[in-house]
């Protein structure tokens, strides 16, 4: 279409008439295209596959081992800690030094458990962070050094070796009955202190099918994931086994490019659905409500009854040179205060924001909110799962 310019032979009036005629013919078609664009657009609550599901087999492995921390300044295990003495004497015996266990003092030595997490696809030479925890009665691991410790998996195989200075991120000191402590002195870390010696078994199987596991099981989300993957691949390669497991076939063109295929699948955005839930922690007064929480029509009236008992001790003393004895008199005062309770009507289908604004208008505290939500749930008006921690 030409631009609106007189020198090009198009008059402005003629152009507007042509545009109006075109709109009249294709107005319905334009509206239909706009509707489809909005309907098929990305949903507001979409999340990537890698954020809501994990690939089966791609997981870390837990490692653990028993070791000794040396060089402590008198803050190690006491003399009665038999396993520390036995470990120290066995180590010295292997080094050709024969010692009497009864003559060993271990004030500068502490027995510890060392743990680490071996990530998937780890290779020999990689370094891991090691966590060192005292298992005896040591007071502090400050300034200690972990001796070479084997870290094994649940299969009994040794996958890493840990050694190095222990950092507790604090201190513990005391003298003359006074003591100062910062952080937890009997647990420390060795950044990069574990060296991988053996790689774990293959995490990603060489089969023709991938298995994704949803972190939050939901039938709707599982079906959305299947549709999103099939739409992206333009083929029926995904199927849901249950509310948590989704199987995805590997096409022939991706058999030798599994990493590329998994990366493409993880980037797909999926509409996420879930059960409406209200989580309550009565110990801290914390209330967390999801956006899908709804209530039926219900009237709420909440008032607070406060009973305060005060006791004041007074001394009754006779006048100078008078007859009588000094006596202690206890004066008790009991006061009862009933807060004004206002009746509040919450209509059906209100959103979470409207519920919060209405309850805040009444002036409820988190403790009051917990009681009100429990009462609404018992009345059958709260359309959500109530989880009490």
Q: 50-56+204-271: which CATH architecture? A: 2-Layer Sandwich (3.30)
pLDDT at 85: 85
Q: Which segments of the chain belong to CATH 3.30.1360?
A: 50-56+204-271
Q: Which residues contact 66 (CB under 8 A, 6 or more apart)?
A: 87, 111, 112, 113, 114, 149
Residue spans of alpha helices (H) in the chain: 12-39, 49-52, 82-94, 219-233, 258-266, 352-362, 366-378
Q: How far from the centroid of its chain's Cα atoms is residue 175's Cα? A: 40
User: Cα(102)–Cα(63) distance, rounded to whole angstroms?
Assistant: 33
Q: How far from the centroid of its chain's Cα atoms is residue 268's Cα? A: 23
pLDDT at 362: 62
Q: Tokens 């190690």 — which residue? A: 76
pLDDT at 269: 93
* Contact present, 266 and 50 (Cβ < 8 Å): yes
pLDDT of the chain, 389 residues: tens digit per residue: 444 444 444 444 444 454 444 444 444 444 333 333 333 444 447 889 999 999 888 888 999 999 999 999 888 888 778 888 888 888 888 888 888 887 777 788 999 999 999 998 899 999 999 999 999 888 889 889 999 999 999 999 999 999 999 998 766 666 655 666 667 889 999 999 999 999 887 766 557 889 999 998 999 999 999 999 999 999 999 999 999 999 999 998 888 888 899 999 999 999 988 788 888 887 787 888 877 787 777 777 766 544 455 556 666 667 676 666 776 666 656 555 555 656 667 677 666 667 667 666 666 777 777 888 888 888 888 888 888 88
Q: What is the DSSP letter of 200?
A: P
* Contact present, 166 and 190 (Cβ < 8 Å): yes
Give the DSSP per-residue string, 253-321. Answer: GGTT-HHHHHHHHHT-EEE-----EEEEETTTTEEEE-TT-EE-SEEEE---EEEEEEEEEEEE-PPTT
Cβ neighbourhood burial of 241 (10 Å; 0-12, 13-18, 19+) = exposed
Q: Which residues contact 336 (CB under 8 A, 6 or more apart)?
A: 305, 306, 307, 308
């Amino acid at each position: 279409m030409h631009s609106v310019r007189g020198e090009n032979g198009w008059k402005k009036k003629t152009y507007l008439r042509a545009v109006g005629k075109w709109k009249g013919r294709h107005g319905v078609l334009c509206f239909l295209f706009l509707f489809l664009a909005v309907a098929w657009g990305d949903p507001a609550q979409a999340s990537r596959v890698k954020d809501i599901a994990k690939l089966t087999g791609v997981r870390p492995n837990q490692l653990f081992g028993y070791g000794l921390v040396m060089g402590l300044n008198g803050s190690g295990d006491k003399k009665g800690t038999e396993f520390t003495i036995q470990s120290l004497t066995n180590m010295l015996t292997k080094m050709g030094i024969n010692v009497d266990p009864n003559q060993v003092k271990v004030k500068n030595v502490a027995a510890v458990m060392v743990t680490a997490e071996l990530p998937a696809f780890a290779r020999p030479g990689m370094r891991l962070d090691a966590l060192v925890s005292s298992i005896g009665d040591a007071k502090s691991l400050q300034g200690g050094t972990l001796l070479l410790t084997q870290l094994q998996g649940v299969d009994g195989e040794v996958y890493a070796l840990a050694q190095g200075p222990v950092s507790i991120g604090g201190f513990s000191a005391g003298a003359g009955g006074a003591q100062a402590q910062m952080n937890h002195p009997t647990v420390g870390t060795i950044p990069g202190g574990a060296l991988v010696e053996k790689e774990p078994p293959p995490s990603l199987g060489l089969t023709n099918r991938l298995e994704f596991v949803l972190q939050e099981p939901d039938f709707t989300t599982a079906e959305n994931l299947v549709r999103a993957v099939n739409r992206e691949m333009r083929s029926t390669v995904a199927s849901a086994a249950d509310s948590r497991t989704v199987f995805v076939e590997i096409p022939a063109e991706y058999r030798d490019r599994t990493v590329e295929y998994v990366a493409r699948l993880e980037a797909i955005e999926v509409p996420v659905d879930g059960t409406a839930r209200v989580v309550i922690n009565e110990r801290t007064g914390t209330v967390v409500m999801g956006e899908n929480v709804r209530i039926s029509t219900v009237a709420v009236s909440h008032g607070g009854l406060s009973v305060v008992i005060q006791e004041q001790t007074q001394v009754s003393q006779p006048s100078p040179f008078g007859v009588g004895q000094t006596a202690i008199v206890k004066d008790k005062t009991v006061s009862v205060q009933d807060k004004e309770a206002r009746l509040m009507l919450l209509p059906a289908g209100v959103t979470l924001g409207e519920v919060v604004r209405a309850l805040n208008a009444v002036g409820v505290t988190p403790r009051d909110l917990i009681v009100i939500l429990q009462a609404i749930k018992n009345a059958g008006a709260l359309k959500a799962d109530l989880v009490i921690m």
